[in-house]
Amino acid sequence: MKRQNYYDRPRKTVEMGMLVLLKKDIYTGAVGALDGTLVHAVVPIDQQARYRGRGKGVCYQNVLAICDFDMIFTFVWAGWEGIAHDSRVLTEVAFNPNSGFPFPPQDKYYLCDAAYTNTRGFMTPYRNTRYWLADFRRQRAVTKEERFNHVHAQLRNVIERAYGVLKARFPILKQMAPYPFPIQRDIVIACFAVHNFIRKCKFYDQLFMDFDENNMFASEEQDNGNEQDEINGVEWGPQGNEYMANLRDHIANQLFLNASN
């Protein structure tokens, strides 16, 4: 099945609130956040097994998106089966010559969660270490890895908030109408486009105001599947993996040193 995308050039990073870290020679390479989200889908009975995402009985399509730090989506690819792992979706889309996937410049990267590979262009948190924002509400970060993960989660949360605005504005994304699947996919893309239009035109919008608040964190979708098996199958290349591992360690050391001073 042919999948479609909506792509818009990234805007300049907006320096606001906790995102001041982006301009302090720490996360200067971050140009946005990347993540997948599940959107309700209506499919024929003989296809439902492929769309029952992440062990749930409801059918979904998996949508991959990138947003900048102003909650504007810069890339959207809709139409994947709900059962597809986020890492697999990214790999297929990124290396599809027809997708128009916007690889970041050589020294830049997207912030991603642990479902993805930590490699050049894609920075993920340390694995087997506290990461989700809720994990730090009772106990602050202690180690340099936890400090890195906490700040990474705060910055990457912009895409969770952007998804929160999107789904709050368009209830059809939670309860899709029974149109043919290609139309369902196009509806998803249209919702992203309208979201961007409202944000770019700087209309007074209560939803954006609510989710702009630094202390308001959208629900964080966590994949309960076996992520490691999927990640090991992605061939990004050892040099890219080593480069990003070293950069992540460098940032973690900077954050830990700053916190100690």
The verdict on residue 241 lying in a domain is: no
The average pLDDT across 228-240 equals 56
The average pLDDT across 207-226 equals 58
Strand partners, 36: 64
H-run or E-run covering 211: helix 206-212
Q: What are phi and psi of 98, to 5 degrees?
A: -95, 0
The verdict on residue 118 lying in a domain is: no
Task: Supply the DSSP symbol for 99.
Answer: S
Strand partners, 32: 110
Cα distance between residue 49 and residue 30, in whole Å? 37
The verdict on residue 251 lying in a domain is: no
Cα distance between residue 71 and residue 199, in whole Å? 8
What contacts 250, CB < 8 A, 6 or more positions away?
none
The verdict on residue 140 lying in a domain is: no
Residue at token pair 């479609």: 4
Instruction: Spell out where 21-126 has E strands.
Output: 30-40, 60-67, 73-81, 109-111, 122-123
The verdict on residue 92 lying in a domain is: yes
The verdict on residue 65 lying in a domain is: yes
The verdict on residue 212 lying in a domain is: yes
How many domains does the chain fold into? 1
pLDDT digits (tens, 9 = 90+) for 20-76: 555 456 888 999 999 999 999 999 998 888 888 665 678 999 999 999 998 999 999
Q: What is the pLDDT of residue 215?
A: 44
What contacts 59, CB < 8 A, 6 or more positions away?
40, 41, 42, 43, 48, 51, 52, 53, 82
Q: Tell me which of 200 and 210 has the higher pLDDT.
A: 200
- Cα angle 153, 159, 162 (rounded to 5 degrees) comes to 135
The verdict on residue 185 lying in a domain is: yes
| Low-confidence winner among 22-26, 217-221, 234-238 (lowest mean pLDDT) | 217-221
Strand partners, 52: 59
CA 121 to chain centre: 13
Average pLDDT, the chain: 81
Task: Supply the DSSP symbol for 235.
Answer: -
The average pLDDT across 248-257 equals 88
Host domain of residue 184: 5-102+155-235
The average pLDDT across 180-197 equals 96
Residue 150 is encoded by which pair of tokens? 């906490």
pLDDT digits (tens, 9 = 90+) for 128-187: 877 766 776 777 767 888 889 888 888 898 999 999 999 999 999 999 999 999 999 999
